[in-house]
Structure 1
Amino acid sequence: MVDHLANTEINSQRIAAVENCFGASGQPLAVPGRVLLGEGILTKECRKKPKPRIFFLFNDILVYGSIVINKRKYNSQHIIPLEDVTLETLPDTLQMKNRWMIKTSKKSFVVSAASLTERKEWISHLEECIRHLLTKTGRQPSTEHAAPWIPDKATDICMRCTQTKFSTLTRRHHCRKCGFVVCGDCSRQRFLMPRLSPKPLRVCNLCYRQLLNREHPGLAFSISIKSTLKDSH
């Protein structure tokens, strides 16, 4: 595909320029066989609000970060191996158009392009790189993906109990399993999900029971009964 560009001077210079923009806060990007294919600014749906992010597409990874000074300084670098990526086209919303989801086992998130044509180009190039990598490595496409976090502004009430109203004093939390916005009472549990983190993560009560039941069938039902009896007193 682009292997003939891997060891060229122009490719090395382009990758070095990206490394310089991230500076000491970023990781080295120059490795044998890696080619920088393109870059662009996409809007990423973040927890608080949509934010512009710089994206760099290589033949084996997708790199993105926060823009400090465009084309000069970036930070908060993230590196995603393309062989772990699955894409899903999404419908437009009132706030964001030309959306699609980038799904991986560790993190999934929604981005949008400035135009439909730009979205098609991004998805086309990404899918081509992913196909090439999977063919090269003999791996199968990933089937397990982390849930994207639903933005804070999407709801004013807990998405589990539908009773608790969020305020300055009543904080929003996110379940790391389903991505729902939940209250503290509906997300008291922690569960170890090695795919996402070496530490136990906050999950909503429903996901906790489901995860527990998957590993210890019957135990989640017992805990649920005890919790119900306790609440009735």
Structure 2
Amino acid sequence: VIKNIFSNISSIYSFHSQFLLPDLENCIMHWHESPGLGKALLQHAPFLRMYADYIRNFDRAIELVRTWTERSSAFRNIIQDIQNQELCGNLTLQHHMLEPVQRVPRYEMLLKDYLKKLPEDDPDYELANKSLEAVSMAAIHSNSAIHKAENLKRLLEIYEMVGEEEVVNPANEFLKEGRLLKLSARNTSAMERHLFLFNNFLLCCCAKFSLVGQRFTVRCRIGVDGMQTQQTTNEDHPYTFQVSGKEKTLELQASSEQERDDWIKAIQEAIDVFQKKNETFKLHKLVLELGRRAPRWIRDNEVTLCMTCQEPFNALTRRRHHCRACGYVVCWKCSDNKVALEYDGNRLNKVCKACYSVLAGQRAERMERKKRRMLECEAYPGSMDCVLSGFLQYGDNSTIWQEVWCVVSGTQPPFFHVYSTPQVMIHQFICIQSFIYGHKKKKNMGITVIKTLISLLQLSHFRTRI
């Protein structure tokens, strides 16, 4: 229970007490010589994203405190004793738990005020601007975590009401709900329905009797893929509109013109966003599948011009040819390239200029990546028997960076090696509870910030928290 209440607050406290606070205190001590708030915060800003986990858990934590305070007298007495201490300033536990939620926005406000009063020619001005960008990104990351948590909470609530497992999918985003009248297709009768609109589908439900809150039965589900909506005219029923999809068509009546327009706008926006994402996905998928799947050939009688250069075909000098990668009909000049196609056993086939450019580029990139990887592994010791290796940017401060070769060993416990050259290993860390522990033995090296560190340390066999 305690872990669920306080989430990763111990990691946040360690980061502040051991790294951020000493640097801020040092900054204040030398303030009259040169204010260095921008520099102090810049090297720590990436680590402020750890607040997202705490913020995401905040509502649940507050609910746990309330529940256990009501259920357990022992828990209630301990909390009361802590709150009565002079150190707590007569504030409740919930008030103190709110402080980390407000911390990152306060850093952002602090930097904005600092920049307003700092001369533009001050050496710290540019660093402070960069710090503000990094802190703002951390704030956005935290806000995004809050939004995702609220959305998931709402999905769970709707799942309780409708009992559809499909609702509780992290890819779903709840958009709108409300009561409307559904018009019968056979007569002029109207039945009350409760609609739930998501980014992927629309649920049309009817209320059912329940002793434990609102409950609904799903009458139909319409996918956003292929959905259309439009305003309709009905003499007996004002403020009507139609929602049609692959599964079903509904004619609905709102209580006012404004409500009808709001529903049409919300549904149309969901359709537009879905189509935009789907088109991007299809284009990306086509590029990925090029050469791996046999294409559908465009028939000769469907085109009269080359689909690449737009020159007209004729029976003698410009005959029709098919690109074996995309299936387009092109002339001989536009298909004078050959490349190995995976779907045809990597045999050479004629392809158009566009497909040749994509496929040849992909092949060259794969070969270059493979060659570079082999050379890197041969050059640096320990790279052959490792979980992960590659180049990262390394620096003892936020202004000076160098490219280093990093290796996570396959041993138990795993080691994190940092090489400046194939022969010189500048640092070695044991990857146990926290990567930050590697710095405790060497205070003089400052705080080392390694880009992409969070992604690197998310490997499952040494789950760490930063």
TM-score w.r.t. length of structure 2: 0.27
Preserved contact between residue 98 and residue 119 of structure 1 (Cα < 8 Å): yes
Report the CA distance shift for 1:29/1:5 in structure 2 as closer, same or farther (over 3 A).
Answer: farther
| Pairing 1:107–2:252 present | no
- Paired AA for residue 240 in structure 2: R
Q: Which has the higher strand share?
A: 1
Query: Which of 31, 40, 44 in structure 1 is aligned with 2:178?
Result: 40
Query: Which of 66, 70, 73 in structure 1 is aligned with 2:215?
Result: 73
**Secondary structure at the residue paired with 1:34?**
coil
- Paired AA for residue 138 in structure 1: E
Aligned partners of 1:63, 1:76: CA distance in 2, in Å?
7
Aligned residue runs from structure 1 range 1-233, under 5 A: 4=144, 8-23=148-163, 26-46=164-184, 47=186, 49-68=189-208, 72-94=214-236, 96-138=237-279
Q: Which has the higher helix share?
A: 2
Preserved contact between residue 243 and residue 251 of structure 2 (Cα < 8 Å): yes
1:193 maps to none
**Secondary structure at the residue paired with 2:251?**
strand
Deviation per residue, 1:147-173 (Å, 9 max, x gap):
xxxxxxxxxxxxxxxxxxxxxxxxxxx
Radius of gyration: which is bigger? 2
Report the CA distance shift for 1:69/1:113 in structure 2 as closer, same or farther (over 3 A).
Answer: farther
2:372 maps to none
Deviation per residue, 1:200-226 (Å, 9 max, x gap):
xxxxxxxxxxxxxxxxxxxxxxxxxxx
| TM superposition shift of 1:69 | 5.1
Aligned partners of 1:83, 1:5: CA distance in 2, in Å?
27
Instruction: Give the gaps of 5 or more residues in structure 2.
Output: 1-143, 281-466
- Paired AA for residue 38 in structure 1: K
Deviation per residue, 1:183-211 (Å, 9 max, x gap):
xxxxxxxxxxxxxxxxxxxxxxxxxxxxx
Aligned partners of 2:158, 2:278: CA distance in 1, in Å?
27
Moved over 4 A (4+): 4-7
Report the CA distance shift for 1:62/1:6 in structure 2 as closer, same or farther (over 3 A).
Answer: farther
2:30 maps to none
Aligned partners of 1:6, 1:32: CA distance in 2, in Å?
14
- Paired AA for residue 37 in structure 1: L
Aligned partners of 1:75, 1:33: CA distance in 2, in Å?
23
Q: Decide which moves more: 36-45 or 69-78.
A: 69-78
| CA RMSD across the alignment | 2.3
Q: Relative contact order: is structure 1 or structure 2 higher (C-alpha 8 Å, sep ≥ 6)?
A: 1
Deviation per residue, 1:126-181 (Å, 9 max, x gap):
11110111011019xxxxxxxxxxxxxxxxxxxxxxxxxxxxxxxxxxxxxxxxxx
Preserved contact between residue 54 and residue 65 of structure 1 (Cα < 8 Å): yes
Aligned partners of 2:235, 2:146: CA distance in 1, in Å?
39
| TM superposition shift of 1:38 | 1.5
**Secondary structure at the residue paired with 2:169?**
coil
Preserved contact between residue 204 and residue 220 of structure 2 (Cα < 8 Å): yes
**Secondary structure at the residue paired with 2:167?**
coil
Aligned partners of 2:247, 2:148: CA distance in 1, in Å?
33
Deviation per residue, 1:102-138 (Å, 9 max, x gap):
1113311200111000010010111111011101101
Aligned length in residues: 133
| TM superposition shift of 1:97 | 1.1
**Secondary structure at the residue paired with 1:83?**
coil
**Secondary structure at the residue paired with 1:93?**
coil
Could you tell me the percent identity over the aligned residues? 20
Report the CA distance shift for 1:43/1:5 in structure 2 as closer, same or farther (over 3 A).
Answer: farther
Report the CA distance shift for 1:100/1:5 in structure 2 as closer, same or farther (over 3 A).
Answer: farther
Preserved contact between residue 86 and residue 104 of structure 1 (Cα < 8 Å): yes
| TM superposition shift of 1:92 | 3.4
1:186 maps to none
